[in-house]
């Protein structure tokens, strides 16, 4: 059996620009399919709401995909949204976010839902991302997960028709129905 080649950030950064998005998951390169229009509409609206809130409060910075979240030399992910609070601001470099951001948000697509809920959740947890939101357009829910003891636990959940705050932005009232259509 041939030994598995483990890729690093240097290998990842050397990939020629071909218009596609890639991630590096524990040294293995993964091609990410382009998201659909519903996914992108949710991303656009959520980005607008969170970015305004974060800027107004001087809380940190928000980045939409594609932005490299460099969790380790062999793990580079591109969450749909990334929030880096003011205390972690030094992690924002020209290359991307170097180290765990405060919050990552993944908007599920049929082709990525399983990976987002298992593989990527495990990687985010292992690398110390405190908050993980999973936006599910099919069930019309937004789940906020909190890192506790090295694993994610449910912290809060909004369903379509509900309004409320989600950690780490409890003071920001989100309208799940308006966001999820």
Q: What is the pLDDT of residues 149-163, one digit of tens each?
A: 999 999 999 999 999
Q: Is 5 helix (H, G, I), strand (E, B) or coil?
A: coil
Q: What is the pTM of this model?
A: 0.94
- Please give the class, per CATH, of domain 34-180: alpha beta
Q: How far apart are CA 78 and CA 67, in angstroms?
A: 6
Long-range contact list for 86-91, CB < 8 A, 24+ apart?
A: 86/58, 86/59, 86/60, 87/60, 88/60, 89/60, 89/61
Longest dimension (CA), the chain: 56
Q: What is the pLDDT of residues 59-105, one digit of tens each?
A: 999 999 999 999 999 999 999 999 999 999 999 999 999 999 999 99
Segments making up each domain of the chain, as ranges? 34-180
| φ, ψ dihedrals at 145, nearest 5° | -110, 140
| φ, ψ dihedrals at 93, nearest 5° | -125, 180
Q: How far apart are CA 61 and CA 71, in angstroms?
A: 18
Q: What is the pLDDT of residues 122-173, one digit of tens each?
A: 999 999 999 999 999 999 999 999 999 999 999 999 999 999 999 999 999 9
Residue 179 has pLDDT above 90, yes or no: yes
């Amino acid at each position: 059996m041939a030994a598995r080649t483990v890729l690093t950030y240097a290998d990842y950064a050397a990939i020629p620009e071909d218009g596609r998005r890639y991630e590096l998951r524990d040294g293995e390169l993964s091609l990410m399919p382009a998201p659909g229009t519903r996914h992108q509409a949710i991303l656009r609206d959520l980005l607008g709401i969170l970015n305004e809130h974060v800027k107004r409060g001087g809380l940190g910075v928000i980045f939409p995909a594609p932005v490299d979240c460099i969790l380790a030399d062999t793990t580079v992910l591109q969450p749909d949204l990334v929030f880096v609070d003011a205390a972690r601001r030094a992690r924002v470099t020209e290359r991307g976010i170097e180290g765990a951001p405060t919050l990552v948000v993944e908007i599920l697509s049929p082709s990525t839902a399983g990976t987002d809920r298992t593989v990527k959740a495990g990687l985010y947890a292992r690398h110390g991302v405190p908050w993980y939101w999973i936006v599910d357009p099919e069930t019309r829910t937004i789940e906020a997960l909190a890192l506790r003891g090295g694993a994610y636990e449910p912290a809060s959940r909004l369903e379509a028709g509900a309004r409320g705050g989600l950690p780490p932005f409890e003071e920001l009232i989100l309208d799940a129905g308006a966001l999820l259509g």
